[in-house]
Amino acid sequence: MFSPALVGHQDLRERLRARVQAGRIRGSLLFAGPEGLGKRRVALELAQRELCFRRSACGQCEGCRLFQGEDLPFELPNLLRIAPEGKAGVIRIDQVREGLDSAGQARFSRGVIEWASLAPPPGCHRWILLEEAHRLNEASANLLLKTLEEPPAGAHFILVTHRPEALLPTLRSRCERIPFLPLSEAEVWEVARRHGWTEADRPRWAALAEGSLRFLEPEAFRRAEAQVEAWLALLAGVPFAEAAGPLLPEKEAALAQGEQLRQPLELLLRLLADLARVRAGRPPALAPWAAALSGLAAGGRDFRPAQEAALEALRHLPRNLAAEPLLREVALALGRA
């Protein structure tokens, strides 16, 4: 009935399957929830099940093989994928209107709106998947508005995002919101084991993952781990120049520096929330760092200025401000705490 490669969200997936079969699925859906929960994979399963020879997303037949591998095509018989492109990581109007990539090359045969209006293959719907939909720029979002409000018969748009607040309100209002909750630790660890993680890694990995699969790649996990250690050092009074290296964006990364800064700032907010938990006599969520947190929480420091500085920095990220001055400002607030 379900793809064996996909873990979790069983009740939600069953409800979606039943609604599709009964013809009660809305034309525009918003899959929203924290990063790394498998929202995109659940969306793909809806299309995969239709092309599966067993109609179950079995993962073994020729139909399912179309959905396997790292280089998933942008266009399949019943699926069109739109994803952010370029250093800025945005979904541009050319992608929506003409199906072109950032170099002007055709990603798929026609524009999104025209593709959605074609008759679907027999026994199928037309699924249009917008990955990281919060990266739609204003022009591309406005172009989609009318179609999202009244999609063609048999066509369904699925907007996938971990930042629904960054979408235009007019887009959100045209979609039925499907909320995704964090996975259980047992579920995320089942997937982590498949990717080679060992029990020795489990305490820190599971604490940082927070019910998600964001850190399956060792490099991503080690970077997040180093960022936690860097914030703890800054909270303990280590100079910015000595501790801040892991917090700074990587110059050669494909992701824009503003987006690279989002993770360390969110980790800082998690640490500050844990300091409040420790002071209230409760265990921290980042339990492997409990000893360091307990030491920092023992004093009478007021961490509210640091929290406000981190939230303010997150609000300014879309402006793509210089990374080091922004982080220094947050570090100064830590020193004032």
Show me where the domains of the chain are located: 10-179, 217-336
**Tens digits of per-residue pLDDT, 124-174?**
999 999 999 999 989 999 999 999 999 999 999 999 999 999 999 999 999
**Measured between alpha carbons, how far is 144 from 162 in angstroms, rounded to an integer?**
20
Q: Which amino acid is at 226?
A: A
- Of the chain, the percentage scoring pLDDT greater than 90 comes to 77
Give the pLDDT mean for 32-57. 94
Architecture of domain 10-179: 3-Layer(aba) Sandwich (3.40)
pLDDT over 80 at 42, yes or no: yes
Going by C-alpha positions, the residue among 160, 155, 166 that lies closest to residue 179 is 160
| β-sheet bridge partners, residue 76 | 79
pLDDT over 50 at 1, yes or no: no
In sequence order, what are the residues at sequence separation of 6 or more whose Cβ sits closer than 8 angstroms to the Cβ of residue 289?
A: 207, 228, 232, 271, 274
Bridge-based pairing of strands 126-130 and 155-161 is parallel
**Tens digits of per-residue pLDDT, 180-189?**
999 999 999 9
pLDDT over 70 at 337, yes or no: no
User: Tokens representing 202?
Assistant: 């489990």
**Angstrom distances, CA of residue 255 to CA of 9, 86, 133, 258:** 29, 8, 16, 8
Q: Compute the Cα dihedral for 245, 251, 254, 259 and give only its sign.
A: positive
**Tens digits of per-residue pLDDT, 244-302?**
999 999 887 777 787 889 999 999 999 999 999 999 999 999 999 999 999 999 988 99
| DSSP structure class, residue 120 | P
Counting Cα atoms < 13 Å in the Cβ hemisphere of 109 gives: 9
Q: What pLDDT score was predicted for residue 87?
A: 66
**Measured between alpha carbons, how far is 238 from 248 in angstroms, rounded to an integer?**
16
Q: Are 67 and 58 in contact (CB under 8 A)?
A: no
pTM: 0.90
Q: What pLDDT score was predicted for residue 148?
A: 93
**Tens digits of per-residue pLDDT, 197-256?**
999 999 999 999 999 999 999 999 999 999 999 999 999 999 999 999 999 998 877 777
pLDDT over 50 at 50, yes or no: yes
Q: What pLDDT score was predicted for residue 179?
A: 97
Counting Cα atoms < 13 Å in the Cβ hemisphere of 337 gives: 26
Q: Give the containing element (helix H, strand E) for 186.
A: helix 185-194
Q: What pLDDT score was predicted for residue 3?
A: 66
User: Which residue is listed with tokens 């020795």?
Assistant: 200
Q: Are 158 and 129 in contact (CB under 8 A)?
A: yes
User: Which residue is listed with tokens 């498998």?
Assistant: 38
